[in-house]
A and B are shown apart, each in its own frame.
Chain A
């Protein structure tokens, strides 16, 4: 997008005088200030506090009371005791992101190139389910996937259900994550396909590429910025989610989000380790995002 921003400054326009520039940047700071302050007080400051909590120690015998410390042990506990939870979070979120990509792409493609006058209606349909609370919809999945439901019944009749259950298994959790974050995958892919020129794709066909080759060498690369944004917008919330696990998943083998939630809200004295877990999760995700954007990224992301 920075390319676009540069284009917005008319080429060949005379450089504004230095005084003018100074005045202009004061206006920019004034415009920026309220929002930046808000993010400073309610995003940056809380993270600093979270960092300090992650190093606090408990007063022995007084659950819920902590003192300032540099207790690195919280991080050791977070990384050793809860390593399986981290692994599950990233595995399930990764699978859900992959599945969401496979499901979302045809929809985004059809909206961009095939829908014609139905395009706006399809767009509304993608966003509309959001307005039924996502917890209600996740709960509906627990009914759909229940043992007495038609999905489990059909699969059982076809002998495709070795364990006998879908609900309360990791499969149900991945299904729930895939469903809940699907629109976040569809919309960015659609946005980047919509900007693409369909004649470029036709040219692939004219040059005797078959459908798959055209898709692989022309369509997919053109939609890469959208795919990139979509995978991030799906993976990040999925990796931190605990609602799908809580409503659809097994009793044991939770994700890291469940641990953080329980340690903060249900277990007295859980703050420091939970804070360390939160920080580790955030650091891991930011590191992945950074590597991922460097590997596949374009300038369009920020």
Chain B
């Protein structure tokens, strides 16, 4: 990539030995050219440091608390569900994540289409309605949901539990889906759809044959974002879950007396699974792209 920044190549002088810069000077030049990349690698290592700790301490032969290293064991990997509540809460989190992702992605995509493709009265107000949930701290949303679930919706038979978690998760994922899909739709050339209509495709046909395939990468990205937001949410969930437990809630409650290493096993496995999924999707995407180019 050095070719992109010719200004950082002062060493490209005459190649006679007299002009050859000293080792220190060359090191300095190399550092200057690769400074950003070096810093980036350091930052990435910093991002991964706690993940590495989580992984390492999943092998800790710990007693009551899993804080200090006490010895190596594979015990926790043999039976990650051995701790009461760990796998139950993981299943709840996966279910909540799946339902919230599907509903939020569908509703959010529809909203994004309306926001980009149509001028209508109340468009500015809709923009505010979509933006403000993202600018509201989670604790305020959690508190507000708790008050309405306890003081308002309990009268109509809605009590804190699985359903209220899903309601809340759909709500806070929705805005992020809208923003992500909106960006994708805005990057499209509207003339492609116009061409379809010029070729006598009806609006429904145009949508499914042209628009939907084009916005699909954005929709899938939004769905991934929604799932990861839902799966990792603790603050709002903590307010609206009642006696139901999700995986982050399980870990938080456990942290008061020491998180069992089984939680590290589950957390790290989810991480590996997600990374493999993302890399897989990238590979499939690039293979498809190169095929369609041929």
B226 interfacial contact with A, CB 8 Å: no
- Is the CB–CB distance between A35 and B107 below 8 Å? yes
A69 interfacial contact with B, CB 8 Å: no
B275 interfacial contact with A, CB 8 Å: yes
Please, how many residues of chain A have a CB less than 8 angstroms from a CB on the other chain?
Answer: 100
Nearest B-chain residue to A8, judged by Cβ: B190
- Is the CB–CB distance between B238 and A129 below 8 Å? no
User: 14 A-B pairs, CB-CB below 8 angstroms?
Assistant: A31-B118, A32-B114, A42-B168, A49-B147, A110-B40, A129-B47, A135-B252, A137-B51, A205-B6, A237-B137, A241-B139, A242-B235, A257-B235, A265-B238
Q: Measuring CB to CB, which residues of chain B are less than 8 angstroms from any residue of chain A?
A: 1, 4-8, 32, 34-37, 39-40, 43-44, 46-51, 53-54, 57, 67-68, 107-108, 110-111, 113-121, 126-141, 143-148, 151-152, 167-168, 170-171, 174-175, 178, 182-183, 186, 190-191, 194, 228, 231-232, 234-235, 238-239, 247-248, 251-252, 255, 259, 263-264, 267-268, 270-271, 273-275, 278-279, 282
A106 to B97 alpha-carbon distance, docked (Å): 33
Q: Which of A1, A36, A114 contacts B1 (CB 8 A)?
A: A114
A103 to B127 alpha-carbon distance, docked (Å): 32
- Is the CB–CB distance between A285 and B135 below 8 Å? yes
A42 to B127 alpha-carbon distance, docked (Å): 17
Nearest B-chain residue to A180, judged by Cβ: B50
A128 to B232 alpha-carbon distance, docked (Å): 12
Q: Which of B129, B147, B168, B191 contacts A36 (CB 8 A)?
A: B129
A273 to chain B, nearest CB (A): 11
The verdict on A35 contacting B108 (CB below 8 Å), with A49-B147, A271-B147 known, is yes
B286 to chain A, nearest CB (A): 8
Main secondary structure of the interface of B (DSSP, over half): helix
- Is the CB–CB distance between A28 and B114 below 8 Å? yes
- Identify which of residues 24-39 in chain A touch chain B, using a CB-to-CB cut-off of 8 Å: 24-25, 27-29, 31-32, 34-36, 38-39
Nearest A-chain residue to B69, judged by Cβ: A143
Nearest B-chain residue to A108, judged by Cβ: B40
Contact code string A105-129 (vs B, CB < 8 Å = 1, else 0): 0110111011110001010111111
Q: Which of B116, B121, B128 contacts A5 (CB 8 A)?
A: B116
Task: Name the residue in B1, B127, B273 with the highest tally of chain A Cβ atoms < 10 Å from its Cβ.
Answer: B1
Q: Which residues of A contact B151 (CB under 8 A)?
A: 49, 53
Q: Which residues of A contact B148 (CB under 8 A)?
A: 45-46, 49-50
- Is the CB–CB distance between B138 and A240 below 8 Å? yes
Nearest A-chain residue to B191, judged by Cβ: A10
A98 interfacial contact with B, CB 8 Å: no
Among A77-85, A220-228, A275-283, the one that faces the other chain is A275-283
A59 interfacial contact with B, CB 8 Å: no
Q: Which residues of B contact A27 (CB under 8 A)?
A: 114, 118
A110 to B116 alpha-carbon distance, docked (Å): 32
Q: Which residues of B contact A278 (CB under 8 A)?
A: 139-140, 143-144
Q: Which residues of B contact A109 (CB under 8 A)?
A: 36, 40
A152 interfacial contact with B, CB 8 Å: no
Nearest B-chain residue to A28, judged by Cβ: B118
A172 interfacial contact with B, CB 8 Å: no
Q: Which residues of A contact B239 (CB under 8 A)?
A: 264-265
- Is the CB–CB distance between B168 and A106 below 8 Å? no
Task: Name the residue in A114, A146, A237, A260 with the highest tally of chain B Cβ atoms < 10 Å from its Cβ.
Answer: A114
A5 to chain B, nearest CB (A): 6
Nearest B-chain residue to A3, judged by Cβ: B186
The verdict on A1 contacting B271 (CB below 8 Å), with A124-B282, A240-B140, A282-B136 known, is no
- Is the CB–CB distance between B275 and A128 below 8 Å? yes
B98 to chain A, nearest CB (A): 15
Nearest B-chain residue to A50, judged by Cβ: B144
Q: Which residues of B contact A124 (CB under 8 A)?
A: 275, 278-279, 282
The verdict on A139 contacting B137 (CB below 8 Å), with A104-B43, A125-B47, A134-B248 known, is no
- Is the CB–CB distance between A240 and B139 below 8 Å? yes
A247 interfacial contact with B, CB 8 Å: yes
A155 interfacial contact with B, CB 8 Å: no
With A5-B186, A143-B57, A289-B135 known, 14 other A-B pairs at CB within 8 A are: A32-B126, A43-B129, A134-B232, A136-B50, A140-B53, A140-B57, A183-B47, A202-B7, A232-B135, A241-B139, A243-B234, A257-B137, A281-B137, A285-B137
Q: Which residues of B contact A144 (CB under 8 A)?
A: 49-50, 53
Q: Which residues of B contact A142 (CB under 8 A)?
A: 67
A286 interfacial contact with B, CB 8 Å: yes
Contact code string A144-188 (vs B, CB < 8 Å = 1, else 0): 101010000000000000000000000000000001001100000
- Is the CB–CB distance between A106 and B174 below 8 Å? no
Q: Which residues of B contact A133 (CB under 8 A)?
A: 232, 234, 247-248, 251, 267, 270
Q: Which residues of B contact A241 (CB under 8 A)?
A: 137, 139, 235
